[in-house]
Amino acid sequence: MKSLILTLTAVALVAGNASAGDVTGKITLKGTPAPEKEISMDPACGAMHAGKKPTTRFYVADASGGLADCVVYLEGAKGGAAPAAPVVVDQRGCEYLPYINSATVNQTIRVMNSDPVMHNVHPTPAVDGNKEQNKAQLPKGAPLEFTFAKAEKFLRFKCDVHPWMFSYVSVFDHSLHAVSGKDGSFKITGVPDGKYKLVVEHRKGGRVEKDIEVKGGAKADLDITAK
């Protein structure tokens, strides 16, 4: 496999008000990752996919190379209350959706079960102060809610009933973070004026970063590349 390169292009700092703006951009994957692997599901879960074989989701990229599931954040950012709206993770077709998400400390992470089978939701944090839990969830049962008091990258949720099921939520001690969408694009809103390190982290592809400044909502174009 060739070296993978994450490239961040066309980042714009766009005015939101006199002292805050939005940071937007697109992440592109260059290089050829290993093929995704077919997931061997049990008959009940496999039947939900109508003959289509689910695969791993290590590198999800569109035809132009836009890379999904990158966690983007401003390192050195401070504060910002946890949003009132929860982060929602669903279990559909015996997969966690979305695969990658981000949250703020003490923000509710609401886990749904849209499947006609039982799951168990088992977050396995590695940071002291974040509590490991393991809760059964009945078919199409009531949502389960979790919060975490400490920042932690790629905090893993798994289902012990179906051992191929994983989801990862990066938890931050500030609100200036996002996850890239299907086309690799992202948007961080309400960024106060200041100097930051813009960081992109992909669970398999690594990390890239760039120093940026938000000042009076002025626009800027930035490029960042790393092997």
Q: How far is CA 147 from CA 87, 98, 130, 171, 213, in A?
A: 10, 17, 8, 10, 31
Mean pLDDT of 44-55: 92
Task: Tell me the pLDDT of the chain averaged across its residues.
Answer: 87
For residues 187 and 22, the answer to whether their CB atoms sit within 8 Å is yes
Q: What is the pLDDT of residue 166?
A: 98
Q: What is the pLDDT of residue 21?
A: 78
Q: What is the pLDDT of residue 224?
A: 46
Mean pLDDT of 162-182: 96
Q: What is the pLDDT of residue 28?
A: 86
Structural domains in the chain, CATH included, are 1-77+177-227 (2.60.40), 80-175 (2.60.40.420)
For residues 165 and 123, the answer to whether their CB atoms sit within 8 Å is no
**CB-based contacts of 63, cutoff 8 Å, min separation 6:** none
Residue 78's pLDDT band (cuts 50, 70, 90): confident
- Write down the pTM of the prediction: 0.90
What is the distance between the alpha carbons of residues 167 and 71, in angstroms, rounded to a whole number? Answer: 13
